[in-house]
Structure 1
Amino acid sequence: MTVQQQFVRTLPLARVGVDRAADKRFDEPWLAAAWSHPSTRVLAVSEGKAFVADTEQGTELVLLSTFDAPDEGERLFLGCDEDGVAYFAVTCAQLPGRLDRPERPAGLREVGGLLGARDAGLLVHAVALENWHSSHGFCSRCGHETVVAAAGHVRRCTSCAREHYPRTDGAVIMLVTDEHDRALLGRQALWPEGRYSTLAGFVEPGESLEQAVAREVAEEAGVRVDLDTVQYVASQPWPFPASLMLGFTAKVDPRDGGAEIQVDGEELDEARWFSREDIAAGMAAGTTLPPPGISIARRLVELWYGQPLPDTLV
C-alpha cells in the first residue's frame, strides 16, 4: 500500500461505505420494492444530526426498518451494500426517538471519526443531500417550486421542468512548507486558543486548483507559492454545508521574500511557520492544538510531521 493510499484510508469522511447504485435512482419499481423489503434500513436525519448508539462494537448509527421510519419528509436513496441490503435516509423535522434502546443525537463533527466506514459514508451522504434539499426548494431559472426526483438526487421545477442537481463547492486546503521544511499554519480568531490549522479557501470561477492554492495562500498569509510545486494529495467531502476539500502540498517561492508572512486580518488572525520541534514542544506544553481529527487538515499536518498526532489533545 502506498503512502497516499494509507493517507486516503485514514480520512474519516472519505472512507468507502456502500455502493451508491446510481443506476437505480430512476427505477421507480425497483425503489418501491427495495423500500418494502424487510432487510432495508433507514437513517432518519434532521438538521445534520442522526441518532447513534454506543455499543460494545463502538459507535453505530441507529438504522430503522421502513416500518419504523418517519412517514413525512424527503426519502433519499443512499445505496446498497455487498449483501444487497438497501439503505435510505428520510429527512424529518425532529428525530424519532425510541425508549427501548440507548441512543443520542449526533452530527458528523462529533462522531464522523468514530463511526465505521459504512455508517460514516451513509451519514455524509444523507447530511449532504439534506443540506441541499433544504435550500433548493425553488427553481433558480423561473422561481417556481421544485419537487424531488431520482430518489433524492434531483429536484425538478414544476413549471419549466428544469432539473437541478446537488451542489458541491470545491475548496482547496494546503500544507505549505518553506526552504527549511517548516509548515505554514494559521488560526482564526473564533477558534480555541492555540489551535492552528492549514490554510484553505474556495475555488473561484475560471480558476485551476493550483491557481486557487497560490491565490488563497497569498490572500490569507501574504506568502507566495511556487506553482510548480503544488501537488494534489487527496480529497474529502465536507458537508458543512456542501464542500469538497481538495488537499494539496506546496512550497514557497523564495523569490522576493516569498516566505514573509502578512496575515489579512479577516480570514486569519495569526499565521506562523512551525518546525516539527515547534509542534512537538507546543503540544507537550498544551499551547498548540492540532486541527480536529475529522478534518483533512489534520492528515496533511501528520503527513508532513511524519507520524500521527496525539488524539488526546484534540
Structure 2
Amino acid sequence: MAPDRPASDPWAVPDVPILARSAHDRIAHRRTDEGWVTAAWDDPASRVLLISPAGTAQVRPGPSLRYVPPSEAAVDGVRVLLGAADGAVYLALLATDEIAGADWRGLRELATELTDLDVGLLTTAVALQAWHRTHRHCPRCGARTEVSKAGWTRTCPVDSSEHFPRTDPAVIMLVHDGAGRCVLARGPQWPAGRMSVLAGFVEAGESAEAAVAREVREEVGIEVCDVAYVASQPHPFPASLMLGYTARVAGDPRLVIDADEIVEAGWYTREEVRRATDWGSEPALDAGQPLPPLRGLPGTMSIARQLINAWLLEG
C-alpha cells in the first residue's frame, strides 16, 4: 500500500503510478462466503460506492468519493465486494440505469486529486463495471451468465463454467536515443500538437519485451535495444494493464510512420518537451505565430507522463 498522494507538481515522478495506488485489502477470501457478504450489505456501517452506467461516481467537495450506506443503494445493478480498510467494508453498486442528483465525475477527472484509498477503490469498481457490462453471456454456449463470488465472476447456469474479469496487457514505451532525444507521436484521434509515447497491445504468444520491439518497429519503423521495465498501471478504459518500458534506438534513427496508426511522430529534445503543457491546457498563441509541433503532453494521471517525466529528470 502506498501513502496518500494528492495532486502535486505535474513534472514530478511518483514512486507508484497514479492508478496503481491502493490502500484497501481486497479480502478475496470473503468473496465465496455468501453469508458474510449478505451481512455486509445489511450492515449500515458498510460503505457503498455507486457507479453509473457511464463509469462515473458521486463526489463530495474536496473532491472525495461519496459513499452511502447500503440502505441508500437501493437501485438495480451488480453488487460487488471491493474490500476493507480501517475496519470498514467497502462495496460497489454498478447501477443498471442512470441515477439522478449529486455531482458525478469520472476516474480520468478525479484520479490525481483523490487519496490512495479512493483512487484504488474507484479504479477497481470502474474496471468491474466495464467487464460486467460487456460480458453478460457465456462465451461457450451463449447463455445469460449469473453474477457470482461477490461480483468477481460470472457463472453459466447451463454448463457451470466460470468467467473472470478480463485484463488486456499492453506495453507503453518511451524510446530515446541515449543522447537527449525521445520519440513522441500522435494518433489520428488526437488534435495537432498533442503528443505521447508509443503503445500497443501484447499479442497472443508474445512477451511484453517482444511487443515493445514489434510495436516500435510497426509504428515508427526503427529497431530498439536495452528494453527495460519501469512500472505498471491499470487502465480500465475498458480493460487494459499498461506495462511501462524504456528502450533505446538501435541503428538508423530515421522514423518511418505507419499512417494507419500514427499521424505524426518525431524526435524531441528535453528542452522541447519541457515547454509543453498538459493536454487541454495548451496556451493560446498570437495570430500569425508559428505553432510548434509539440504543445501538449498526457496528463499526470497517465503512466505515459510518468515515463516522460522520469526521462526528463535524467538530463
- Within a 5 Å distance, the mapping from 1:1-314 to structure 2 comes to 7=13, 9-46=15-52, 47-54=54-61, 58-81=62-85, 83-98=86-101, 103-226=102-225, 229-254=226-251, 257=252, 259-282=253-276, 287=292, 288-306=295-313
* Alpha-carbon offset, residue 147 of structure 1: 0.3
The count of aligned residue pairs is 289
Distance 1:282 1:115, change over 3 A: closer
Work out whether residues 223 and 250 of structure 2, in 8 Å CA contact, stay in contact via their aligned partners in 1: yes
* Alpha-carbon offset, residue 7 of structure 1: 4.8
Work out whether residues 9 and 15 of structure 1, in 8 Å CA contact, stay in contact via their aligned partners in 2: no
* Alpha-carbon offset, residue 174 of structure 1: 0.4
Letter in 2 for 1:116: T
> What's 2:288 paired with?
none
Letter in 1 for 2:91: F
> What is the rounded CA distance, in whole Å, between the counterparts of 1:252 and 1:148 in structure 2?
47
> What's 1:310 paired with?
none
Work out whether residues 44 and 70 of structure 1, in 8 Å CA contact, stay in contact via their aligned partners in 2: no
Distance 1:27 1:304, change over 3 A: same
> What is the rounded CA distance, in whole Å, between the counterparts of 2:217 and 2:164 in structure 1?
33
> What is the rounded CA distance, in whole Å, between the counterparts of 2:141 and 2:227 in structure 1?
41
> What is the rounded CA distance, in whole Å, between the counterparts of 2:261 and 2:51 in structure 1?
31
> What is the rounded CA distance, in whole Å, between the counterparts of 2:239 and 2:42 in structure 1?
31
* Alpha-carbon offset, residue 71 of structure 1: 3.4
Percent identity between the two aligned chains = 46
Work out whether residues 220 and 268 of structure 1, in 8 Å CA contact, stay in contact via their aligned partners in 2: yes
> What is the rounded CA distance, in whole Å, between the counterparts of 1:63 and 1:52 in structure 2?
9
Structure 1 gap segments, 5+ residues each: 1-5, 308-314
* Alpha-carbon offset, residue 38 of structure 1: 2.1
Work out whether residues 45 and 95 of structure 1, in 8 Å CA contact, stay in contact via their aligned partners in 2: no
Q: Deviations over 1:2-27 (max 9, x none)?
A: xxxx9554522111231111010001
Work out whether residues 174 and 247 of structure 1, in 8 Å CA contact, stay in contact via their aligned partners in 2: yes
- Greater CA drift, 196-205 or 171-180: 171-180
* Alpha-carbon offset, residue 73 of structure 1: 0.9
TM-score (normalised: structure 2): 0.87
* Alpha-carbon offset, residue 190 of structure 1: 2.2
> What is the rounded CA distance, in whole Å, between the counterparts of 1:241 and 1:17 in structure 2?
22
Give the SS at the match of 1:80. Answer: strand
> What is the rounded CA distance, in whole Å, between the counterparts of 1:120 and 1:252 in structure 2?
35
> What is the rounded CA distance, in whole Å, between the counterparts of 1:285 and 1:10 in structure 2?
29
* Alpha-carbon offset, residue 197 of structure 1: 0.4
Give the SS at the match of 2:37. Answer: helix
Work out whether residues 59 and 114 of structure 1, in 8 Å CA contact, stay in contact via their aligned partners in 2: yes
Work out whether residues 155 and 161 of structure 2, in 8 Å CA contact, stay in contact via their aligned partners in 1: yes
Give the SS at the match of 1:19. Answer: coil
> What is the rounded CA distance, in whole Å, between the counterparts of 2:182 and 2:143 in structure 1?
49
Q: Deviations over 1:219-246 (max 9, x none)?
A: 11111111xx111110000000000000
Work out whether residues 51 and 95 of structure 1, in 8 Å CA contact, stay in contact via their aligned partners in 2: no
Give the SS at the match of 2:124. Answer: helix
Letter in 1 for 2:296: L
> What is the rounded CA distance, in whole Å, between the counterparts of 1:60 and 1:162 in structure 2?
38
- Greater CA drift, 155-164 or 43-52: 43-52
Work out whether residues 17 and 231 of structure 2, in 8 Å CA contact, stay in contact via their aligned partners in 1: no
Work out whether residues 202 and 212 of structure 1, in 8 Å CA contact, stay in contact via their aligned partners in 2: yes
* Alpha-carbon offset, residue 184 of structure 1: 0.8
Work out whether residues 292 and 298 of structure 1, in 8 Å CA contact, stay in contact via their aligned partners in 2: yes
TM-align CA RMSD: 1.8
Work out whether residues 14 and 306 of structure 2, in 8 Å CA contact, stay in contact via their aligned partners in 1: no
